[in-house]
Chain A
Amino acid sequence: MPVTNVTPDLDQLTLTIDAEFAAPVERIWQVYADPRQLEKVWGPPGYPATVVDHDFTAGGRVTYFMTGPEGEKFAGYWDITGVDEPNGFTFDDGFADADFNPNPDLPVSKNGFTFTAGGAGTKARYVSTYASAEALQQVLDMGVVEGSTAAINQIDDLVA
């Protein structure tokens, strides 16, 4: 069970996820530094991600789109704000149009990922911050479909 702790902060609209991976820090770093690996883990089931640009440096931009079950495309970008290889990086995560122009009407979340040696190999901490409850809802309504369905699907198991 790789997720060790989940801390939602309802006032700050921050979600902090702690996880442990049975691999060294450099290996976990590689998942993000290699676009072909990143696209294997980023999109939810049924929404595979394709990473297009991958300028993984401070000030650089990563662009990607997720393809839905009916072929619909959800484009997004990361503006990398800080990189500390292999210990972590920070970025702003936003939505974009089909040409990867950032969509200013949709919310941008601030994210910080840190990787430290420990536990089973690497302790990872993922912190995502949203500007408002509306922003959070918009994000969930967008490509993050798995979020709400997976939560409701747990009820299926409960009542089965």
Chain B
Amino acid sequence: MTESTAQGTFWDKRGLASWLFTTDHKRIGMLYLWCIMAFFAIGVVLGLLIRLELIAPGQTIMGQQAYNATFTLHGVIMIFLVVIPSVPAAFGNIFLPLQLGADDVAFPRLNMFSWWLYAIGAVIALAALFTGDGPPDTGWTFYVPFSAVTTTNVSVAVTAVFILGFSSILTGMNFVVTIHRLRAEGMTWGRLPLFGWSLYATAWIQVLATPILGITLLLIFAERVLGMGIFDPSRGGDPILYQHLFWIYSHPAVYIMILPAMGVISEIIPVFARKAIFGYKTIAVSSLAIAFAGSLVWAHHMFVSGMSDTAVMVFSLLTFIVAIPSAVKVFNWTSTLYKGSIRLEPPLVYALGFIFLFTMGGITGLVLGSAGTDIHVHDTYFVVGHFHYVIFGGTGFGMFAALHYWLPKVYGRMYNKKWANISAVILVIGMNGLYFPMYILGLAGMPRRYFDYLPQYTSMHVASTVGSWITAVGLVMMAVNLWVGMRSGPRVGRNPWGAATLEWRTKSPPPTHNFDEEPIVDRGPYDFKGVQPDA
């Protein structure tokens, strides 16, 4: 490191190589963030196309095969390239070491390698679109037997996801070791910010669940390329076992998606209520409880696949148990707001949007977790609505909240707060317009993944498609506002929000080595006594 960068910020070094081969966790986090934003834009466009196709029965803008490929790509891109890495890999990388008072993560070079794996996986995923005999058309779950026999480019897509999974494992490992080993002096486990706690729980899921996805994908590969027949009934195999293996990963993966977003919300609420968070310990423990209980519920995706009734009841009960720690968090956030000295700044507006949309999705999760009602709405639009409320309304809004909360720290500039609030409101309206009709469609029996539908579903599909346009408007407004803010917004000081966690003690943007002097922690992360905003 040269003298000039010691005085400056982590942005100072120039040139492409200084980014692509960086071991600075903040730069790696930014690399993730830019990639994720680009893929998010692609995923959104694909989603808009799906909605446009469904605006009327019959073929509208694309044929059946193109439709199958579009929703598969929308799923694969959004799940594996956007939602899973969104908050942990991007914001976790940037802010976990800062919040711990560390110089970097435990394994900086491994961190760079993780990003490279992500980039390679992303390139291969994109290659799956344009090479071979057409893009995959299996849905993001790659269910056998279809995925074993379809002539589309499933093998390449599966390879991409395998590599992306490896990246996720390495990031998780890095975070666990970082949190164990690199906390600043005085940063006891009881003073760990809740974002750190949520990343800790997430990292364990990444480490413990992702290998199962790895083996499942290897098995699809073996089925397709080597003709193994492990899941082929004519050769003695059993396709249901594929579903078990797939969901043993992919259900916990849902918590990889949502837990870090919950961590972001737990950071934002106390800062803008100017009050220590209600039930710090229960929120921290609930993250671990969600990670643990969430690993035991996978078969609730399979209530109609022919399991025993006992298994159905056990998995239904376990699924209900996960709702408890999730609800604990929601109640604790609202209790923190109660009698708080609330400042309705953009991060809080997005956090409130998160609470509302996530609760909408969470409650309908109980409808799906209860076997009786699930059999009625299984594989209908009800599931699509539930999933998008939780993941787009939850993780997506968590990511937007994080962008608005931390952008001033990363760029040292502030966006236009009024426009940020307006776009948040438009987004909440748009997303309810987009996804609420799906609940009604699902209850009325409209199956998911279908290209065509009966005329009685038309009005709700039109409503949903219009909702997708409103959502798109909100997204564009938010993106433009953030872009303008980071380029030319007014400069901010170290601590524009008056927060008490460590990342706000250093300069905005932070220097390469994070802190001018090693921080010593002598207070909790939400102890605001004497902390003044420095705008």
Question: Do A and B share a complex?
Answer: no
Which chain B residues have a beta carbon within 8 Å of chain A's beta carbons? Answer: none
